[in-house]
Amino acid sequence: MSHEGTNRLEQQRQEKLQRLKAMGLDPYGGRFDGSEAAASIKARFVDEAEDQTARCAGRIVLLRDIGKLIFITLRDSSGDIQIGLSKSIIAGQWELAKLLDLGDIIGVDGGLGRTRTGEVTVWAKTLHLLCKSLLQPPEKWHGLADVDARYRQRYVDLWANPEVMHRFQKRIDIIETIRESLIARGFREVETPMMQSIAGGAAARPFITHHNALDIDLFLRIAPELFLKRLLVGGFERVFEINRNFRNEGLSTRHNPEFTMMEVYQAYADYNVMMELTEELITSLIAKHCSATILTFGEMQIDFTRPWRRSAFADLLKEHSGCDIADIPAIRRKAAELGIGQANMDDAVVVQEVFEATVEDKLVNPTFVIDYPSSLCPLTKHRKDDPSYAERFELFIGRMELANAYTELNDPAVQYENFLVQLRGREETEAVMDEDFITAMKYGMPPAGGLGIGIDRLIMLLTGATSIRDVVLFPLLKPNT
């Protein structure tokens, strides 16, 4: 629709607003108690039963005015229901009925019946205007052509596209199930700081902010890990947190700078316990919230049937790159073939880059990649039988990393040395040792398993959404120029 046409429609709505006010009506309504969900009304309707009534409220998403009858499709968070407005029934409010537009929010009381076409319908006896919409709903709000506008105006997207509302309701339900499952296993949910004086717990670029009263820089957290481990020192034995992390990095279909992460720590466990927990948790989510164990994700069909594959990092590297993990010259030659710049890059990082380039796209069905090179894992215990490998796994599903877990390092001296290595080459503002965490470890942290799961990516897999923007209510977007 042209800009001129849009302005004309907005002007018409403004004129209706003034007419409503002239009629002594409040265009923005007020309290409306006792409204029943549309889905509930339709579910309880009984054909042939007399004196059925309903009271409901929602937004007008379809309006057909056929003279002395107006049929409205009313949408609430549970779905749609048809409203019938008859001049013979609501004669005293017919002028109000004629001033209704798409997008208006109304409430109705009336009798419940079924039309000749079989549609369950509330025949309004009383009409309540709860909010006058002053903007015309977009005519073409579906499909890729509108995807950017849909992200920017999620408040329209949610009521204009029922499948979007359903996906976000499913997200809420999935997270609720995760909480219930962990609590049933004896885990306690905790909260740790989102503003931290040291950016720790992961290797990522932080967002920096400033606290005026203390005149100090702070970092939005990149991970809650070190604070959750402090709770293990304090005596909590099973803890988890589901909350936001912030990483000052790029935007993509799989990355949002603000994202939801769940981290879990269990005293006296190891990475094998975390593997079992991860597999049990995700398969239970699929059983409860999905219709099958084989899910579609883009062009992929992902089979979640247990048991899931477990493969060593070195074995997968050999299988897909042709390189032995100990043959660093061969790995560097492979990196050069792949166009990976290696200037001043540590051998371990080159190994990781080649793995990411050659292996990760092959991991469609759930795969636990276990036993990473120790040099890549500064917070992880090493295998006793071969210290060159760490007791760490990453879970890949649908060519995405979904989870990361360790047998947690609890030797303060080794942790201190690993921190020194980790800080080399970091920017000055980020290269700060968390001395207090070392102090905490010196008091004694029990052996433990730790797990992090990317909640947004998990929701993507379980809902078939191939962009993280489709599972984050308000994703970060480039400025709309």
Tens of pLDDT, residue by residue over 375-390, are: 888 889 999 999 999 9
Decide if pLDDT at 41 tops 70. yes
Query: Token pair of 34, please?
Result: 């006792």
Query: Reading across the β-sheet that carries 195-196, which strands appear in turn?
Result: 195-196, 216-220, 208-211
CA 295 distance to own-chain centroid: 18
Please give the Cα distance from 85 to 100 (Å, whole number).
11
* CA distances to 183, 185, 193, 410 from 233, in Å: 20, 20, 17, 10
Task: Compare 67 and 140 and report the one with higher pLDDT.
Answer: 67
Compute the average pLDDT of residues 103-118. Answer: 96
DSSP H stretches of helix in 220-346: 225-234, 271-289, 313-321, 328-337
Compute the average pLDDT of residues 66-92. Answer: 96
Please give the Cα distance from 122 to 114 (Å, whole number).
8
Cis? peptide before 307, omega within 30° of 0:
yes
Decide if pLDDT at 279 tops 70. yes
Please give the Cα distance from 152 to 146 (Å, whole number).
10
Please give the Cα distance from 206 to 222 (Å, whole number).
6
Compute the average pLDDT of residues 72-83. Answer: 97
The position carrying tokens 């030659």 is 333
Q: What percentage of residues in the chain have a pLDDT greater than 90?
A: 85
Compute the average pLDDT of residues 25-40. Answer: 97
Q: Which helix (H) or strand (E) holds 156?
A: helix 154-160
Query: Contact at 8 Å (CB) between 460 and 468?
Result: yes
Structural domains of the chain sorted by starting position, each given as residue range(s) with its CATH number in brackets = 3-137 (2.40.50.140), 156-308+365-470 (3.30.930.10)
CA dihedral 297, 303, 307, 311 (to 10 degrees): -60
Decide if pLDDT at 428 tops 70. no
Compute the average pLDDT of residues 29-53. Answer: 96
Query: Contact at 8 Å (CB) between 437 and 201?
Result: no
Query: Contact at 8 Å (CB) between 181 and 284?
Result: yes
User: What pLDDT is attached to residue 202?
Assistant: 79
Query: Contact at 8 Å (CB) between 429 and 208?
Result: yes
User: What pLDDT is attached to residue 32?
Assistant: 97
Residues 6+ apart with CB under 8 A from 395: 278, 366, 367, 368, 369, 401, 402, 403, 404, 405
Please give the Cα distance from 135 to 11 (Å, whole number).
9
User: What pLDDT is attached to residue 3?
Assistant: 60
User: What pLDDT is attached to residue 183?
Assistant: 98
Q: Max alpha carbon distance in the chain (Å)?
A: 87
Please give the Cα distance from 393 to 310 (Å, whole number).
9
End-to-end Cα distance, the chain: 20
Decide if pLDDT at 77 tops 80. yes
Decide if pLDDT at 433 tops 90. no
Query: Contact at 8 Å (CB) between 106 and 129?
Result: yes
User: What pLDDT is attached to residue 281?
Assistant: 98
HSE (side-chain half, CA atoms, 13 Å) at 246: 14
Compute the average pLDDT of residues 155-176. Answer: 95
Short-list 304, 315, 408, CA closest to 370? 315
